[in-house]
């Protein structure tokens, strides 16, 4: 029994398993890639820095951005993003895959403000932001 396949009629032949792997990788990468492409992405409008324990401290708030309009201030410490604790987490992953995302989608963050006991919970809608490159 001959199991050869005539591929002469096709311009490009891709093995079905390779095609499946390519499609899965594209599906997994596309939201993050789209959200983080160039310097345009959906975000909440903060510049954050990691604390030693992994939590994110807000260094600067973009005037007119979602965080600013909600009342988030420089010095606030983000302790949770969409229910996941930031303490002990990877800063880059938290920013790239939790805070940033597709514009128009919600993100819920919990912040602690220095000198205050009660945490604040904010649900923000990510917005298309253009952040100028750092000088």
Model confidence pLDDT, tens digit, residues 50-81 = 887 878 999 999 888 999 999 999 999 999 99
Boundaries of domain holding 111? 40-130
Residue 75 lies in a domain: yes
User: pLDDT at position 98, please?
Assistant: 87
Residue with the two structure tokens 């969409």:
82
pLDDT confidence band for 35 (50 / 70 / 90): very low
* 29 part of a folded domain: no
Specify the pTM: 0.66
Q: Which of 8-12, 102-106, 113-117 has the lowest mean pLDDT?
A: 8-12
pLDDT at position 3: 65
38/135 Cα distance (integer angstroms): 16
How many structural domains are present in the chain? 1
Could you tell me the CATH number of the domain that includes residue 94?
2.30.42.10
Q: Is residue 83 in some structural domain?
A: yes
Asked if the structure places residue 54 within a domain, the reply is yes
What is the phi/psi pair of residue 54, to 5°?
Answer: 100, -20
Least confident range from 40-44, 76-80, 109-113: namely 40-44
Beta bridge partners of 61: 46
8 Å CB contact between 84 and 98: yes
The token duo for 101 is 């995302």
């Amino acid at each position: 029994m001959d199991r050869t396949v005539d591929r002469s009629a096709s311009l490009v032949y891709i093995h079905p398993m390779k095609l499946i792997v390519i499609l899965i990788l594209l599906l997994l990468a596309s939201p993050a890639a789209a959200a983080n492409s160039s310097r345009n992405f959906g975000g909440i409008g903060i510049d954050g820095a990691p604390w030693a324990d992994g939590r994110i401290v807000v260094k600067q708030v973009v005037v007119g951005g979602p965080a600013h309009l909600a009342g988030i201030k420089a010095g606030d410490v983000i302790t949770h993003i969409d229910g996941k604790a930031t303490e002990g987490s990877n800063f880059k992953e938290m920013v790239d895959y939790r805070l940033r995302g597709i514009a128009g989608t919600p993100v819920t963050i919990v912040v602690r403000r220095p000198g205050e006991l009660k945490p604040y919970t904010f649900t923000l809608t990510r917005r298309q932001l253009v952040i100028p490159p750092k000088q």
